[in-house]
């Protein structure tokens, strides 16, 4: 029953994505507003699943690759619903629904059993460190998705000076600001935690190093945006390239570069 | 010289340095670090391995070029921060003047009223000047970039000092005994266990620190994530091991002592006759003819422990397998073999408290500075009959779009996709 909630959420995310795409492509308002409701329902199911799993495990459900991926997908949905509620723009769902669906799909391929928390993870920093990482990655994923959306619209002849394009470009930047702040929290809380657990603040573990690489790439993005006044197409491309680094830190490092974070 | 200075403080130089750190980090994560030359030869072949070793890519993060990169980054941040200080003086006033002097975007009286109501509703500070209302917000944001760069500089410098300045000692200590450090401090271990009361894996030692001046900490349980901090010392539960345990009793005096067996050792009273401990095995297989095959421990478990010992008596050496509960009497000493005991591997770290405080301060500062930098962007909007003008040192597309929304311009249903 618990896992049914997860797969239910996954199917509902897919339905929201499909409805949104159909609605946008065929300009059907009914489909778009239905997508919005379906997406919120998916988030509700996903939330129920996460709470249920957390209660059953007796801890935050963020301890392994499945749980983190599920949390990452959930964070994409939370940000998407929040932004949509604030901005009332259809492109928010066009980006966040597929992001939530894809990330949650990745989670579905990971081992799902609940395991006891290993001693190294029993820390007060667990929630802050990993929770911030989930929301940071989600913000970057939405920014990267907005980059893809921007380039797609541009290729279809959309005017970059239009309100919707400027807003999409700007929101990508704001999402990166949020993600960057949270990634900083992830790195700093991770350093404090590592010092408590292993006595070393920084040990150039592959996960740490790739978090730093991602941080530097986004620092370059922000400097180009704020100081060099880059906007539009170049920023969209940079947001997509930066997202590759996030995805490698999230999944690639675990598969290719084992280290202290191998359980993640 | 001026050009050189300008380059050193430039963002271009900062970006070049960040790219350098990025490349080094990439290499350092992809190439296994601090391995033997043969490891690289086996992994990549002879020529690539030679190139890796020649470029120092086997230990990137301690190479002089990487340290130089970090030092140059600190210099760039320092110059960047110092120069920003000058520009911060009077920044709020300048911004207000910019808003007043900027060319106003014409709006109707109704729209001006709507803007007025909007910014008043957002509780922005307002002042009347030149017949216009100047709304301003987030003036602390002027310090955002400066504080971010300064805190990053602080983090790099203090972090470097903390990493370089920590004195770390790894030692194993038997429960019931202690170790003494070079400076006279003492770390005592009362007990050690691998599982908690519920049977859950939980490595825990109960330790006490005695400082060189005699001050003592309380007996405190330590486990992963919960080290004991006392003065400049911190004791971590790092690893664990299993040792053989034998109680030796002097048959003449009756005096006895428990001895932990962690490595081969000759236990003797007279120096000639005694028991030579070779190794502790985790288990054994006994075939039909009574022959033993001994099994080493691969997972730290010792389910059927066996002591492999040599009994040396009157010039003769005999191989003996002893099990917990067995007793041997050799050379006036009785050896009673007991169940193996688990013991902790501790890490003891000595670190300056001042540096640690500065490091934590830099953590807090950089987080707060980034928040101020990204989310409290200073802005002034002058609203009058002739229109409105917006001024900010940072991109204000969000505010611009917000104003357009309030004014009801540019937002068309057709653009909502």
* Alpha carbon distance B417, A119 (integer Å): 49
In B, which residues are within 8 Å of A255 by CB distance? none
| Cβ–Cβ gap B29/A217 under 8 Å | no
pLDDT-based confidence at residue B289 (cuts at 50, 70, 90): confident
The nearest CA of chain A is from the CA of B397 a distance in Å of 7
Give tens-digit pLDDT for A181-212.
Answer: 999 999 999 999 999 998 899 989 999 999 99
> Mean pLDDT throughout B87-109?
89
The B residues from 90 to 119 touching A (CB cutoff 8 Å) are: none
What's the length of chain A?
264
Taking domain B91-138+377-407, whether its CATH number is 3.30.310 is answered by: yes
| Cβ–Cβ gap A216/B21 under 8 Å | yes
CA-nearest residue of chain A to B62? Answer: A204
At residue A263, the pLDDT reads: 55
Domain map of chain B by residue range? 2-78, 91-138+377-407, 141-162+353-376, 167-240+346-352, 242-342
At residue A264, the pLDDT reads: 53
* Alpha carbon distance A102, A117 (integer Å): 27
> Mean pLDDT throughout A148-170?
90
> Mean pLDDT throughout B371-396?
89
At residue B415, the pLDDT reads: 39
Where do the H-state alpha helices sit in B180-236?
none
Report yes or no: B107 and B115 within 8 Å, Cβ to Cβ.
Answer: yes
ipTM: 0.91
In A, which residues are within 8 Å of B26 by CB distance? 213
In A, which residues are within 8 Å of B226 by CB distance? 196
> Euclidean distance between the first and final Cα of chain B, in Å?
54
Burial B215-254 (b: 16+ CB within 10 A, else e): eebeebebbbbbbbbbeebbbbbbebebbbbbebbeeeee
At residue B62, the pLDDT reads: 93
pLDDT tops 80 at residue B398: no
At residue B154, the pLDDT reads: 95
What's the length of chain B?
417
At residue B409, the pLDDT reads: 65
* Alpha carbon distance A126, A263 (integer Å): 13
* Alpha carbon distance A17, A128 (integer Å): 30
> Mean pLDDT throughout A146-168?
90
pLDDT tops 50 at residue A127: yes
Mention every residue, 6+ apart, whose C-beta is less than 8 A from residue A15: A38, A42
In A, which residues are within 8 Å of B416 by CB distance? 88-90, 164
In A, which residues are within 8 Å of B163 by CB distance? 200-202
In A, which residues are within 8 Å of B359 by CB distance? 201
Neighbours of B126 (CB within 10 A): 16
According to DSSP, the residues that pair with B312 across neighbouring strands are: B274, B317
CA nearest B104: which of B95, B112, B92, B94?
A: B112
Report yes or no: B311 and B275 within 8 Å, Cβ to Cβ.
Answer: yes
DSSP tag of B414:
G
> Euclidean distance between the first and final Cα of chain A, in Å?
25
According to DSSP, the residues that pair with B179 across neighbouring strands are: B187
Chain A CB within 8 Å of residue B35 CB: no
* pTM score above 0.80: yes
Which residue from A192, A204, A219 is facing B61, i.e. has the nearest CB? A204
> Mean pLDDT throughout A78-96?
90
At residue A192, the pLDDT reads: 95
* Alpha carbon distance B378, B141 (integer Å): 5
pLDDT-based confidence at residue B205 (cuts at 50, 70, 90): very high
> Mean pLDDT throughout B109-138?
90
| Cβ–Cβ gap B225/A120 under 8 Å | yes
* Alpha carbon distance B342, B174 (integer Å): 8
pLDDT tops 60 at residue A243: yes
CA dihedral (A7, A239, A171, A211) positive or negative: positive
Share in percent of chain A as helix, strand, coil (round to 5): 80, 0, 20
CA-nearest residue of chain A to B373? Answer: A177
DSSP code string of B157-193: HHHHHHHHH-EEEEEE--TT-EEE-TTS-EEEEEEEE
At residue A132, the pLDDT reads: 97
Mention every residue, 6+ apart, whose C-beta is less than 8 A from residue A51: none
Pull the structure tokens for residue A215: 């941080």
Percent of chain B with pLDDT over 70: 98
Neighbours of A14 (CB within 10 A): 19
Mention every residue, 6+ apart, whose C-beta is less than 8 A from residue B342: B192, B193, B194, B240, B241, B242, B243
Report yes or no: B164 and B351 within 8 Å, Cβ to Cβ.
Answer: no
pLDDT-based confidence at residue B133 (cuts at 50, 70, 90): very high
> Mean pLDDT throughout A21-44?
92
The nearest CA of chain A is from the CA of B304 a distance in Å of 26
| Cβ–Cβ gap B25/A220 under 8 Å | no
* Alpha carbon distance B412, B417 (integer Å): 10
| Cβ–Cβ gap A174/B15 under 8 Å | no
The mean of the pLDDT values for chain A is 92
Q: Residue B307: is it exposed, middle or buried by C-beta count within 10 angstroms (0-12/13-18/19+)? A: buried
DSSP tag of A251:
I
> Mean pLDDT throughout B380-396?
87
> Mean pLDDT throughout B249-258?
90
| Cβ–Cβ gap A197/B395 under 8 Å | no
The B residues from 165 to 224 touching A (CB cutoff 8 Å) are: 168, 200-203, 223-224
Report yes or no: B220 and B191 within 8 Å, Cβ to Cβ.
Answer: no
* Alpha carbon distance B217, B196 (integer Å): 23
> Mean pLDDT throughout B40-56?
94
Residue in A195, A203, A211, A220 to test binding to B, most B beta-carbons within 10 Å: A195
Report yes or no: B224 and A120 within 8 Å, Cβ to Cβ.
Answer: yes
**Would you call B156 helix, strand, or coil by DSSP?**
helix
Which residue from B162, B374, B401 is facing A167, i.e. has the nearest CB? B401
> Mean pLDDT throughout B264-270?
92
Which residue from B200, B236, B417 is facing A24, i.e. has the nearest CB? B417
Give the 3-state secondary structure of B301-347: CCCCCEEEEEEEECCEEEEEEECCCCEEEECCEEEEEEEEEEEEEEE
Report yes or no: B101 and B397 within 8 Å, Cβ to Cβ.
Answer: no
Chain A CB within 8 Å of residue B7 CB: no
pLDDT tops 60 at residue A144: yes
Give the 3-state secondary structure of B17-42: HHHHHHHHHHHHHHCCCCCCHHHHHH
pLDDT-based confidence at residue B345 (cuts at 50, 70, 90): very high
Report the range of poorest mean pLDDT among A13-22, A181-190, B256-265.
Answer: B256-265
CA nearest B365: which of B165, B159, B196, B223?
A: B159
Chain A CB within 8 Å of residue B229 CB: no
* Alpha carbon distance B188, B219 (integer Å): 9
Percent of chain A with pLDDT over 70: 98
Report yes or no: B267 and B274 within 8 Å, Cβ to Cβ.
Answer: yes
The mean of the pLDDT values for chain B is 89
């Amino acid at each position: 029953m618990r896992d049914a909630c997860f797969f239910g959420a996954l199917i509902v995310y897919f339905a929201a994505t499909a409805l949104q795409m159909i609605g946008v492509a065929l300009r059907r308002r009914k489909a778009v507003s239905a997508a919005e409701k379906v997406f919120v329902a998916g988030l509700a199911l996903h939330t129920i699943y996460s709470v249920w799993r957390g209660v059953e495990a007796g801890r935050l459900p963020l301890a392994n690759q499945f749980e983190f991926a599920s949390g990452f997908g959930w964070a994409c949905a939370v940000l998407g619903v929040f932004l949509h509620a604030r901005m009332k723009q259809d492109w928010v769902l066009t980006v966040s629904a597929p992001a939530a669906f894809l990330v949650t799909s990745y989670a579905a391929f990971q081992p799902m059993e609940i395991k006891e928390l290993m001693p190294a993870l029993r820390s007060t920093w667990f929630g802050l460190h990993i929770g911030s990482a989930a929301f940071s990655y989600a913000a970057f994923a939405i920014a990267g998705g907005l980059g893809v959306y921007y380039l797609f619209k541009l290729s279809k002849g959309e005017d970059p000076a239009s309100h919707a394009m400027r807003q999409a470009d700007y929101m990508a930047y704001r999402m990166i600001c949020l993600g960057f702040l949270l990634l900083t929290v992830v790195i700093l809380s991770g350093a404090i935690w590592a010092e408590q657990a292993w006595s070393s603040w920084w040990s150039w573990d592959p996960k740490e190093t790739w978090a730093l690489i991602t941080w530097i790439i986004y620092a370059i993005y922000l400097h180009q945006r704020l100081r060099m006044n880059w906007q539009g197409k170049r920023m969209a491309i940079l947001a997509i390239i930066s997202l590759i680094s996030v995805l490698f830190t999230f999944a690639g490092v675990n598969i290719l570069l084992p280290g202290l974070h191998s359980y993640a | 010289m001026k050009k050189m200075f300008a380059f050193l403080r430039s963002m271009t130089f900062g970006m070049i340095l960040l790219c350098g750190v990025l490349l080094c980090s990439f290499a350092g994560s992809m190439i296994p670090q601090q391995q033997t030359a043969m490891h690289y030869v086996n992994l990549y072949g002879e020529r690539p391995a030679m190139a890796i070793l020649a470029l120092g890519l086997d230990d990137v993060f301690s190479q002089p070029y990487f340290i130089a990169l970090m030092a140059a980054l600190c210099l760039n941040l320092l110059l960047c921060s110092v120069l920003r200080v000058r520009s911060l003086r009077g920044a709020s006033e300048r911004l207000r003047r910019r808003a007043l002097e900027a060319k106003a975007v014409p709006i109707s009286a109704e729209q001006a009223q709507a803007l007025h109501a909007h910014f008043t509703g957002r509780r922005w500070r307002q002042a009347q000047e030149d017949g216009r209302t100047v709304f301003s917000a987030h003036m602390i944001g002027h310090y955002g970039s400066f504080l971010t760069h300064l805190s990053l500089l602080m983090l790099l410098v203090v972090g470097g000092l903390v990493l370089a300045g920590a004195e770390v000692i790894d030692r194993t200590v038997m429960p019931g005994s202690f170790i003494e450090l070079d400076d006279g401090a003492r770390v005592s271990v009362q007990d050690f266990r691998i599982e908690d009361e519920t049977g859950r894996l939980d490595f825990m030692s109960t330790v006490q620190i005695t400082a060189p001046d005699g001050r003592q900490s309380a007996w405190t349980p330590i486990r992963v994530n919960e080290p004991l901090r006392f003065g400049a010392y911190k004791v971590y539960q790092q690893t664990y091991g299993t040792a053989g345990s034998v109680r030796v009793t002097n048959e003449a005096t009756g005096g006895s002592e428990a001895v932990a067996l962690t490595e081969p050792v000759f236990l003797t009273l007279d120096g000639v006759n005694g028991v030579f401990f070779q190794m502790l095995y985790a288990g054994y297989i006994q075939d039909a003819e009574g022959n033993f095959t001994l099994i080493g421990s691969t997972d730290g478990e010792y389910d059927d422990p066996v002591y492999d010992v040599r009994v040396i008596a009157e010039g003769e050496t005999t191989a003996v397998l002893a099990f917990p509960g067995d007793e041997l009497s050799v050379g006036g000493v009785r050896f009673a073999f007991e169940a193996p005991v688990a013991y902790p591997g501790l890490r003891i770290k000595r670190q300056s408290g001042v540096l640690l405080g500065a490091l934590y301060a830099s953590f807090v500062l950089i987080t707060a500075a980034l928040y101020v930098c990204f989310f409290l962007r200073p802005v002034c909007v002058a609203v009058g009959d002739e229109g409105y003008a917006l001024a900010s040192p940072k991109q204000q597309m969000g505010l611009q779009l917000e104003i357009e929304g309030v004014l009801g311009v540019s937002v068309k249903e057709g653009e909502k996709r």
